[in-house]
Chains A and B, each alone.
Chain A
Amino acid sequence: MMKNKTNKFYFLVLIFFILNCKASELPKPDGGIKIIARNEMIHNRFNYNVDPEFKLLQSIQLIALNPINLLANNSDFMSTHLRKSADEMKIAYDFNGIPINKINEIIGVVPYLTYIKDKGWTGVRQFFISNSLNNCYYQENYIILTHASVILAKEAVTYSVNNKVTLYHTVGENNSGFTYTIDWFDDQYFRTIKCSSNKLDKNIKTELIELAKDIVKYNDENKK
């Protein structure tokens, strides 16, 4: 009888655990922006101390010099090599990008996300250099075509960029370099700026927020 009671107890504990173990669902197509507690998000995350895109950002100027990437004459608009201008790509929506007067130089652009037949790429990544931000990229996901959606941890969410849902984080270590990333989300775009630096710099966050605001303003002014 004791054994039956013990088994019953463990069974009830198991049921209680299952019912209270809230793993979030995956985001759904056109599911918008959902904000939940961090402990409700899925737990299959890989935490990393060194951003794998740090080396890509640090070497982008060298990459641009590679003859394969000087593709002004490449007529394959589907190729994912680095190009000087977004005009050399077939983009499925009206892309304005980053205002050139707010940075030093655009290194090049590449396609991002997916290519829709007869329409073009649904996202773009622009690599650029800024005196205050070093080597960076700006990227857009046009969610009207990608049907993207996102679930965010409420503990990390702010509204720093024009009252849009915003995330910011820094990744890195002193002996490997740092990346600084700002994401902001609305009902048409998921946008990101990511920059790399060999040192930790707390001023970069403010710079990124201001540049993000400039991008929003520039794109709103140039909407077709």
Chain B
Amino acid sequence: MEYFKYVILISSIASTSHAGLYAPTMHSRANCNGINESVTWQANVPHNWRVDSYHWESNQNSKKEHIKSTKWAWTTIAIGYCLTEPPPKESPMWIVGGYHYKFNHDDQRLEASTEAIDCNVYDGWWG
């Protein structure tokens, strides 16, 4: 399991945004111009988050998978990702599943599970 550093993004105000502005949002995307990732974010408001992004091949006979996991961190964005990931060798595509965790005072949550086989409804973080 590899751990990746967090990237804190400052987004300009756009006419629309598909990522969390005033509440946290979570999502995954797969086979998206080589990007497989799962992310949790809320603009300008840090939380104690962790994301585990599972990437596995769509061929059910293939058991190959890998996990991109973040550490727990106080952050406005937590991303488990692979950039420029080539297509799988034994399957037509990747499936990406995300587990999005949060640690509050006295409670530790899996807030949501996400799954994607494409760029999903999100075309990026900047609208």
Contact = CB atoms under 8 A, between A and B. Distances in A.
Contacts of B59: none
B108 A151 contact: yes
B17 A80 contact: yes
Contacts of B27: 114-115
A27 B109 contact: yes
B107 interface: yes
A56 B46 CA distance: 12
Interface string A107-135: 00011111101000011010100000000
**Contact-residue bracket for chain B:** 35 or more
B107 A147 contact: no
A115 B105 CA distance: 26
Interface string A43-81: 011101000110010001001000010000010101111
Nearest to A60: B22
Interface in B107-124: 107-114, 120-122
A29 B25 CA distance: 17
Q: Which of A31, A82, A125, A146 has the most CB of B within 10 A?
A: A146
Contact of A46 (B74, B101, B114): B74
**Contact-residue bracket for chain A:** 35 or more
A171 interface: yes
Given A80-B23, A80-B25, A151 B47 contact: no
Contact of B22 (A42, A123, A125, A169): A125
A80 B110 contact: no
Contacts of B19: 80
B108 A27 contact: yes
Nearest to B116: A117
A112 B110 contact: no
A156 interface: yes
Contacts, number: 145
B37 to A, nearest CB: 14
Contacts of A104: none
A190 B112 CA distance: 11
B110 A44 contact: no
A41 B106 CA distance: 8
B45 interface: yes
Interface string A200-217: 000000000000000000
Given A76-B16, A79-B16, A115-B121, A29 B110 contact: yes
B111 A80 contact: no
Given A27-B101, A29-B99, A42-B103, A111 B25 contact: yes
A183 B17 CA distance: 28
Given A28-B110, A127-B22, 6 more contacts: A29-B99, A56-B44, A148-B109, A152-B106, A152-B108, A167-B104
